[in-house]
């Protein structure tokens, strides 16, 4: 898609809008986000907002909504929230005597815990696993991603990059 300076854009992976302020190359743009930050973004992560299509009335005056009983939607939401498992791999939550462990032992304990939770998720009705690995230097994150690739699971980073969400 061709972008020009001044084009309004949406971020695909985040709930942000912005405006193109600089074209760095065919693949990278600088975008001024609605938050006021200038971000260098890959073209593939953006969607151009065409003029006149950013309002609900752009798609016609009549919109059809499905009639839903409110009680069933609440129970469905409750049911979905029960199918999400969150595991925090911070070492201070896994063991109390982590001060005596070296880095290799800490990573191994965290990966073993992650491995157990992945197995638990696969063998139950859990549909989403949130693995909190923290931001840090990224060693644990890369090891967790390597483990997930071995299981051939789909995953993506959260907005702050401190957690990985896995679709089981």
The per-residue pLDDT for 79 is 53
Judged against a pLDDT cut of 80, whether residue 66 lies above it is answered with no
The per-residue pLDDT for 129 is 93
Instruction: Put residue 32 in one of left, alpha, beta given phi > 0 → left and psi -120 to 50 → alpha.
Output: beta
Who wins on pLDDT, 35 or 111?
A: 111
Judged against a pLDDT cut of 90, whether residue 168 lies above it is answered with no
The per-residue pLDDT for 11 is 87
Q: How close are the terminal C-alpha atoms of the chain, in Å? A: 33
Chain centroid to CA 33: how far? 19
Three-state DSSP state, 100: helix
> In which band, very low, low, confident or very high, does the pLDDT at 65 lie, cut at 50, 70 and 90?
low
Residue 159 token pair: 């907005």
CB 94 within 8 A of CB 110: yes
- What's this model's pTM, rounded to 2 decimal places? 0.52
The per-residue pLDDT for 160 is 84
- Show the domains of the chain with their CATH numbers: 8-50 (2.30.30), 78-167 (3.30.1370)
Judged against a pLDDT cut of 90, whether residue 70 lies above it is answered with no
Q: Which pLDDT tens digit goes with each residue over 90-133?
A: 999 999 888 889 999 999 999 999 999 999 998 888 889 999 99
Mean pLDDT, the chain, rounded, equals 84
Backbone angles phi, psi at 41, to 5 degrees: -130, 145
Mean pLDDT lowest for which of 38-42, 70-74, 118-122? 70-74
* Rounded percentage of the chain residues whose pLDDT exceeds 90: 46
């Amino acid at each position: 898609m061709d972008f020009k300076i001044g084009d309004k854009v949406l971020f695909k992976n985040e709930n942000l809008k912005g405006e193109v302020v600089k074209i760095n190359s065919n693949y990278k743009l600088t975008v001024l986000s609605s938050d006021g930050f200038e971000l260098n973004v890959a073209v593939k992560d953006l969607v151009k907002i065409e003029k006149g299509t950013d309002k609900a009335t752009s798609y016609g005056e009549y919109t059809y909504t499905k009639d839903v009983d409110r009680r069933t939607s609440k129970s469905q939401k409750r049911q979905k929230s029960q199918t999400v498992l969150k595991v925090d791999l911070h070492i201070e939550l896994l063991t109390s005597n982590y001060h005596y462990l070296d880095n290799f032992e800490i990573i191994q304990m965290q990966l073993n815990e992650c491995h157990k939770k992945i197995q638990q998720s696969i063998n139950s009705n859990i549909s989403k696993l949130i693995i909190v690995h923290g931001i840090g230097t990224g060693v644990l994150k890369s090891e967790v991603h390597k483990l997930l690739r071995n299981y051939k699971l789909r995953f993506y980073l959260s907005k702050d990059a401190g957690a990985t969400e896995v679709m089981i």
